[in-house]
Amino acid sequence: DPASRESGFHVDTQCPFCSVQCKIRLTKNIPLPGTQRSTYSVEGIPNAASEGRLCVKGMNAHQHVTSTDRLLQPLVKKDGKLTPASWEEALNRIRDNFLDVSERYGPDAIGLYGGGSLTNEAAYLLGKFARIALGTKYIDYNGRFCMSAAASAGNKTFGIDRGLTCRLSDIPLARCIILAGTNIAECQPTLMPYFTKAKENGAFIIVIDPRVTATAAIADIHLQIKPGTDAALANGMLKVLLSESLLDETFISDRTNGFAGLKQHLAAVDLDEIAEMTGLDKAIIHKAAVTYGQAETGILFTARGVEQQTDGHVAVRNFLNIVLATGKIGKPGCGYGAITGQGNGQGGREHGQKSDQLPGYRSIDDEQDRAYVAKVWGVESQEIPRKGVSAYEMMELVHQGAIRSLFVMGSNPVVSNPNADLVEEGLSKIDFLVVADMFLSETARMADVVLPVTAYLENDGTLTNLEGRVLLRETTIAAPGETRHDWSILCELAEMLGKQRYFPFESAEQIFNELRLASRGGLADYYGITYDRLRRDGGVYWPCPSTEENDTNGMLFEQAFAHADGKAIFHPVQSRLPQEIPDEQFPLTMTNGRVLSHYLTGVQTRRSPSLAARSVENFIELHPRTARKYKIEDGEWVEVSSRRGSFSVRSRITDKIREDTLFVPMHWGGVQNVNKATSPELDPNCKMPGFKTSAVSIRPLR
């Protein structure tokens, strides 16, 4: 009986964590006689993406849902303390504040901050709520830190941004695979068998990473690169391909523009300099490039290791130049993939919670796009505010006092933003902070009002996985306590703000149907996708403009790219060094990332006993010679400092990292928060912070 949380149940759902979106069958067993304790059985069910596999996160994803830490009632700050309150009191307080701030300072004094784990429906509605219910231009989301570099590079090069340009099923067909800055073995573990299958089929695997990760273990060549020099490496590899005549001249002339300019630019690229810059042997760079160039088929992947740099956009574009120059795209076993991190990292950025975008990947600057969406929403296009700023820039506006009220939905910005001390200071002095979350996250603890929301087992909605495949996740158990869905909170607040006619929704499906219309004719066209079709087919790729069957096979660019003339664009971009160079005071480069058992800032996974037990505290990886130099013992507490601030973690000495590099996971807040030291410098093209290249110092805490 799925309506009961007390008795046993048997439900099919989707993992709430990473972008693979594996399907789960969850069984709650009725307690044995004489015991109170329920047990759960979990198994994977085959779906198109995961083929029935689950990783340890998916196996334990029910644990945070049943956690006694769940927020079951709204909280309102009284005399400095968060105190249980009714929904009426909590929502009235929000409405009163929003109306007051808007009247006194204008609507742009209110900001909204969303998340890449929200369903497409919640993400769509949050964007509409910001622009139509509040009239503010300030909305952005944590996906800015996830995919913005790959998205902007894909848009410029191909004219469209979808995580994978091919399908996961193409991976075993590839004869050479480049994994640049992606540790899928820990971040998307159920994808690993695609790569081992490719290897069994004879594929040559090249991993680019400053660390010997679990993913690097399957590599034929591991390029253990200096952090922040990926853009240079890609240019070096392209230079080799050119000098070895391994380019696909027909593809270049028929399907691309801009190669002549790139060729000219490459004349000045010096492989010795590239080797010096990247810390790699010239012969290995040569071998990697030649192997990829000679392979009949190939897929190149990037992820946050390449993208979370102040030149992440440039680095991805340089890698895309390699893909285009060898013609390895738009055919079986070929393509490019940006491996999304968050559960709905793909869909979350397509429908309007990003400052520069309207639903369907429409541009907020384009008059035709604005007019189209305005018509769907029933407003004049001038009523849609113009572009705001990126996630971290919003935090700066909070700190400066320009944003006086902030509504955070499905995110934990005080832990996930770079320069976390500045963010915390800003949020501690903001006039009014609202957080909608399942738990009292580090950000929620600072809020004036906290709204308890439903978990993935308790609400309906669609998510778009890393392939661009839209999947429906339906409600499987009743919501506990007074928790509400994200979308219903937004509808109720809109009604209280006098905007009910724009938010008449009574179900997630109704919102999706408006999203379908709003996206129609856009780059991310969902018009042909319906809940019924998703129930029947189990997942549908976008773009899907028609409700007819079989109008999409998931492979992009078979005939044409998405630019007006159907051609992709080469871009001659520089081999730039990272902006924050280690110096005498901060001599080491710190990079960050994930561990297998945790997700994002750990708000959910740290509340899952099985996951928390696997990784109870944060740590820093450093090379034995680095440890000796700074007199650090294995397992002792160290302080890591940068120009921004300091944090403390336990040391983990390993020879699986470069001597000039440190690695710290990103899942912990408070004194263990790596982001107290990370660089807030932003990529000028996409506003991605330079998480992966922070200059730091380290000392033992004794």
- Interface residues with ligand SF4 (CB under 6 A) are 15, 17-18, 20-22, 50, 54-55, 57-58, 188-190
Q: Are the beta carbons of 457 and 442 closer than 8 angstroms?
A: no
Q: What span, in angstroms and rounded, lies between the C-alpha atoms of 298 and 310? A: 28
Closest CA to 21 of 611, 352, 456, 334: 456
Q: How far is the CB of 5 from ligand SF4 (least distance, A)?
A: 22
Nearer CB in complex with ligand SF4: 190/672: 190
The three-state (H, E, C) secondary structure of 24-43, written as one string: EEEEEECCCCCCCCCEEEEE
Nearer CB in complex with ligand SF4: 218/420: 218
Q: How far is the CB of 50 from ligand SF4 (least distance, A)?
A: 6
Nearer CB in complex with ligand SF4: 21/291: 21
Q: How far is the CB of 16 from ligand SF4 (least distance, A)?
A: 7
Nearer CB in complex with ligand SF4: 271/596: 596
Q: How far is the CB of 695 from ligand SF4 (least distance, A)?
A: 32
Look up residue 459 and give its two tokens.
């609400």
Q: What span, in angstroms and rounded, lies between the C-alpha atoms of 451 and 71? A: 8
Q: How far is the CB of 14 from ligand SF4 (least distance, A)?
A: 7
Look up residue 408 and give its two tokens.
């955070």
Q: How far is the CB of 55 from ligand SF4 (least distance, A)?
A: 3
Nearer CB in complex with ligand SF4: 61/324: 61
Nearer CB in complex with ligand SF4: 466/682: 466
Q: How far is the CB of 61 from ligand SF4 (least distance, A)?
A: 7
Q: What span, in angstroms and rounded, lies between the C-alpha atoms of 125 and 352? A: 8
Q: How far is the CB of 343 from ligand SF4 (least distance, A)?
A: 7
Q: How far is the CB of 599 from ligand SF4 (least distance, A)?
A: 7
Q: What span, in angstroms and rounded, lies between the C-alpha atoms of 125 and 121? A: 6
Q: What span, in angstroms and rounded, lies between the C-alpha atoms of 618 and 667? A: 8
36-46 CB burial, b ≥16 within 10 A, e <16: eeeeeebebee
Q: How far is the CB of 597 from ligand SF4 (least distance, A)?
A: 10
Q: How far is the CB of 132 from ligand SF4 (least distance, A)?
A: 33
Q: Are the beta carbons of 163 and 323 closer than 8 angstroms?
A: no
Nearer CB in complex with ligand SF4: 342/678: 342
Q: Are the beta carbons of 20 and 11 closer than 8 angstroms?
A: no
- Using CA atoms, how far residue 417 sits from 137, 428, 431, 578, 688, in Å, is 20, 15, 20, 19, 11
Give the three-state DSSP class for 550. coil
Position of minimal CB gap to ligand SF4:
58
Q: How far is the CB of 24 from ligand SF4 (least distance, A)?
A: 7
Look up residue 489 and give its two tokens.
């909170």
Nearer CB in complex with ligand SF4: 17/407: 17
Q: How far is the CB of 666 from ligand SF4 (least distance, A)?
A: 16
261-292 CB burial, b ≥16 within 10 A, e <16: ebbebbeebebeebbebbbbeeebbbbbbbbb
Amino acid at 575: S
Nearer CB in complex with ligand SF4: 17/292: 17
Q: How far is the CB of 58 from ligand SF4 (least distance, A)?
A: 2
- Cα 52 versus chain centre, distance: 23
Q: How far is the CB of 618 from ligand SF4 (least distance, A)?
A: 20
Look up residue 72 and give its two tokens.
């079951």
Nearer CB in complex with ligand SF4: 581/613: 613
What backbone torsions phi and psi does residue 236 show, to the nearest 5 degrees? -65, -45
Q: Which residues contact 432 (CB under 8 A, 6 or more apart)?
A: 97, 101, 404, 405, 406, 448
Q: Which residues contact 549 (CB under 8 A, 6 or more apart)?
A: none
Nearer CB in complex with ligand SF4: 42/478: 42
Q: Are the beta carbons of 627 and 651 closer than 8 angstroms?
A: yes
Nearer CB in complex with ligand SF4: 21/136: 21
Q: How far is the CB of 465 from ligand SF4 (least distance, A)?
A: 8
Look up residue 564 and give its two tokens.
């007006």
Nearer CB in complex with ligand SF4: 23/286: 23
Nearer CB in complex with ligand SF4: 15/603: 15
Nearer CB in complex with ligand SF4: 57/167: 57
Nearer CB in complex with ligand SF4: 46/106: 46
- Using CA atoms, how far residue 584 sits from 130, 280, 438, 587, 621, in Å, is 46, 23, 44, 5, 21
Q: What span, in angstroms and rounded, lies between the C-alpha atoms of 80 and 216? A: 49
Cα angle vertex 509, ends 505, 511, to 5°? 45
Q: What span, in angstroms and rounded, lies between the C-alpha atoms of 416 and 674? A: 9
Q: What span, in angstroms and rounded, lies between the C-alpha atoms of 665 and 594? A: 5
Look up residue 699 and give its two tokens.
């000392």
Q: Are the beta carbons of 360 and 160 closer than 8 angstroms?
A: no
